Amino acid sequence: MKDALADNNEAVLFLEKQLERDAPNLDPETRRTLARMGASIAVKEAEKPENKAVSPEKTKEKKEKSVQLDFWEDGKRAAPNAVFRSALFPALHPTQKENRRFIKQENLFSTGGLEVIFTGEQFDQSDLDVYLELLNMARPYPLGQPVKFSAYGLLKALGLTTGGKDHARLHSVLIRLRGGTIDITDHKIRYFGGLIEGGIRDEISLNYEITINPKFADLFGFGMWATIDKEQGRP
């Protein structure tokens, strides 16, 4: 309390001197009154929550509350309902994969009251396998923080071979997932953006870092996501 009073008195004296300089014709009593009013207003503004400085402890607490996708079992893979209940990841014939369509704001078939609008190069089931594995690897990290993995490790997790062509194919899938823009509405939540935010690759080690938009977590709201067995749907 004493510190607050001292700060207020200093503010009054400071404002008084300013008024004396800028408005010399004011009588001393009027200057004193105006200075007190100004100091009082300044103190009230400083005490507003939005104007208070955030302590390192509060910043740390906010970071600790970051969203993580850590709520499914190790033997499962999970995604928002829109991934499993729409034609976002259709099964394409090999010839269709070689001639993928580029789609512009197409309303894809979906069930359960979902609306899924897509723009970009058409996805397929193999893209879904990669995407589900990425979401699973992101579980230990707060969304928005880089997810680190090796191309070799991801290919092995997918049960694929690890030759040069496989690495090139994996990278093309990541580019396609980054390039596609989804506009998904599930109940009162509408998310529009990429499935992944992009990242970097070390050209020597072939290690990756990717990020996922924290806002994407809204699509994992209560009853808005589902799981499948890890091997479900794989050949």
Q: Which range in 24-28, 33-37, 79-83 is most confidently predicted, on average pLDDT?
A: 79-83
* Contact assessment for residue 160 and residue 166, using Cβ atoms and an 8 Å cutoff: yes
Quick one: tokens of 99?
A: 């001639």
Class of residue 18 by CB neighbours under 10 A (exposed 0-12, middle 13-18, buried 19+): middle
Model confidence, pTM: 0.70
**Closest CA relative to residue 159, chosen from 196, 195, 137, 129:** 129
What are the phi and psi torsion angles at 67 (to 5°)?
A: -80, 135
CA–CA gap between residue 91 and residue 120 (Å, rounded): 17
Burial of 232 (0-12, 13-18, 19+ CB in 10 A): exposed
Whether 133 shows a pLDDT value over 70: the answer reads yes
- pLDDT band at 4; cut points 50, 70, 90: very low
Contact 210, 174 (CB under 8 A): yes
DSSP state of 10: H
Residue 94 token pair: 């090999």
Q: How far is CA 231 from CA 69, 93, 127, 133, 160, in A?
A: 20, 20, 15, 11, 13
Mean pLDDT score across all residues of the chain: 81
Q: Which two tokens stand for residue 72?
A: 């499914």
